[in-house]
Amino acid sequence: MEEKIIEKLIGAFMFLPGVGYKTAQRYAYKVLLGDENDVKNLAHTIIEAKEKVRFCSLCGGFSTTDVCDKCRTRISKIICVVEEPKDIDYIERAKNCELVYHVLHGTISPLNNRGPEDIRIKELLERLKTGDYTEVIIATNPSVEGEATSMYISRLLKPLGIKVTRLAQGISMGSDLEYTDEVTLSKALEARKEI
Amino acid sequence: MEEKIIEKLIGAFMFLPGVGYKTAQRYAYKVLLGDENDVKNLAHTIIEAKEKVRFCSLCGGFSTTDVCDKCRTRISKIICVVEEPKDIDYIERAKNCELVYHVLHGTISPLNNRGPEDIRIKELLERLKTGDYTEVIIATNPSVEGEATSMYISRLLKPLGIKVTRLAQGISMGSDLEYTDEVTLSKALEARKEI
């Protein structure tokens, strides 16, 4: 009986990214031997976060309300376009000015059968129609797909007379926003170029 | 608001062994973006395991009942002494015969102020008094503390006329002489066997 529960716990932990059997086993033993309050806190926080955190209807980032804190409180003429909600966090830690965001929830990727209509480009155009924004910073990852998405968006926005910029090539090609240090990311924001 | 919940979730994940901020952040995003059923399964399994799994009153291993499955169903004259409940699992996967176990829940460590009365040696003596066992295999780790604990137990049991054995030390399977440390190699030479 106990073996079944422990195996089930190990299996459940393997849901986490990059966690194989051995690591899941270490986590499971920590759960069984660790402080009861810490363990229950982990489980309850997971449930709380999963239940409360949804996507902001405006920017597509994480939010506990219909419109997120940033969209509600910030007044900015610059909108920063990112691939995933978590990318907002990385930009936030590096940026010098208050930005508002727009999360695409993916990239254009013909190989994976994802076209422009599969990511939140239509919603971006809707937001820009209001005329509240003068500049769009495209902060997709410097991957092939991120670059393609960036090019697509810039060609779409140029005729509208909106300044479109891209993060400067301070971030290394083939890397990921998640692993770029804050100083580099900050410099890349400063040196953004019109495309 | 959403930032607070996400930060709380990251903090909760850092309770797991070897998980720093970056890894906890990846886990948190997986929770927020992953399949709802998988996420809730993880949280509920953690709670279920923490509530149901306790220690066996006999061997000290993990159990969902007062006495664990192994202690209830196995008949063995050999008892294997380990440091931690999880060590049972490692032995189980390697062993050829059915053993019963005794978990010490620690080692003797004068530096950390842990004496023989702080680990489950008294309980081991109680079990051996029944006369059901003819051999005790000491499977503590080959660390300084594990060795000291092994020595202490063997001196305690020898006068009782019980056979006390220790896991053999030598070069590990698939290893290379070049990368084997001197102490291990020395032990392997000492314990050489005729073939």
Is A173 a residue whose pLDDT tops 70?
no
The pTM of this model reads 0.79
By C-alpha distance, the chain B residue nearest A86 is B29
C-alpha B17/C-alpha B87 separation (Å) is 17
Q: Are A103 and A85 in contact (CB under 8 A)?
A: yes
Share of chain B above pLDDT 90, in %: 59
φ and ψ at B168, to 5 degrees? Answer: -65, 145
Enter the DSSP assignment of B194. -
Cβ-based neighbours of A47, under 8 Å, separated by 6 or more: B40, B43
By C-alpha distance, the chain B residue nearest A6 is B49
For residue A15, list chain B residues with Cβ-Cβ distance below 8 A.
30, 34, 38-39, 41-42
Any idea of the CA torsion for B26, B30, B33, B38, to the nearest 10 degrees?
Answer: -170
Is B69 a residue whose pLDDT tops 70?
yes
| pLDDT score at A150 | 93
Cβ–Cβ of B6/A42 closer than 8 Å?
Answer: no
Distance from CA of A7 to the nearest CA of B (A): 10
By C-alpha distance, the chain A residue nearest B11 is A42
Q: Which amino acid would we find at residue A135? A: E
Type and span of the H or E element at B144: helix B144-157
Q: Are A174 and A82 in contact (CB under 8 A)?
A: no
How far is C-alpha B16 from the chain's CA centre? 18
A126: contact with B, CB 8 A cutoff: no
Average pLDDT over residues B101-114: 92
| pLDDT score at A96 | 67
Residues 129-158 of A with CB under 8 A from B: none
| pLDDT score at B96 | 67
Q: Which amino acid would we find at residue B141? A: N
C-alpha B162/C-alpha A141 separation (Å) is 67
Cβ-based burial of B60 (10 A; exposed 0-12, middle 13-18, buried ≥19): buried
Pairs across A and B, CB distance < 8 A: 148
Q: Are A104 and A81 in contact (CB under 8 A)?
A: yes
C-alpha B98/C-alpha B79 separation (Å) is 10
Enter the DSSP assignment of A164. E
B47: contact with A, CB 8 A cutoff: yes
Cβ–Cβ of A6/B43 closer than 8 Å?
Answer: no
Residues 72-111 of A with CB under 8 A from B: 84-86, 89
Q: Which amino acid would we find at residue A118? A: D
| pLDDT score at B169 | 80
Enter the DSSP assignment of A136. E
Mean pLDDT in chain A? 89
Residue A9 is nearest to which of B3, B31, B46, comparing CB atoms? B46
Distance from CA of B22 to the nearest CA of A (A): 9
A50: contact with B, CB 8 A cutoff: yes
Cβ–Cβ of A86/B47 closer than 8 Å?
Answer: no
C-alpha A186/C-alpha A190 separation (Å) is 6
What ipTM goes with this model? 0.81
Give the pLDDT band of residue B183 (cuts 50, 70, 90). Answer: confident
In 3D space, the residue among A193, A187, A3, A35 whose CA is nearest the CA of residue A96 turns out to be: A187
Helices assigned H by DSSP within A55-181: 69-73, 85-94, 121-129, 144-157
Cβ–Cβ of A30/B17 closer than 8 Å?
Answer: yes
Q: Which residue has the tokens 């202690």?
A: B71
Which of B4, B8, B23, B50 best probes binding to A when mutated, by most A CB atoms within 10 angstroms? B50
Question: How many of the other CB atoms lie within 10 Å of CB of A81?
Answer: 24
**What's the pLDDT tens digit per position in A19-49?**
999 999 999 999 999 999 999 999 999 999 9
Question: How many of the other CB atoms lie within 10 Å of CB of A176?
Answer: 15
Q: Are B71 and B58 in contact (CB under 8 A)?
A: yes
Q: Which residue has the higher pLDDT, B175 or B130?
A: B130
Distance from CA of A138 to the nearest CA of B (A): 22
**What's the pLDDT tens digit per position in A119-143?**
999 999 999 988 889 999 999 987 8
Cβ–Cβ of B31/A17 closer than 8 Å?
Answer: no
**What's the pLDDT tens digit per position in B139-181?**
998 888 999 999 999 999 988 889 999 888 888 887 787 888 8
Is B38 a residue whose pLDDT tops 80?
yes
Highest mean pLDDT among A155-159, B9-13, B155-159: B9-13
**What's the pLDDT tens digit per position in A73-91?**
888 899 999 999 999 988 8
Is A14 a residue whose pLDDT tops 90?
yes
φ and ψ at A183, to 5 degrees? Answer: -65, -45
**Which residues does residue A102 pair with via DSSP β-bridges, in sequence order?**
A81
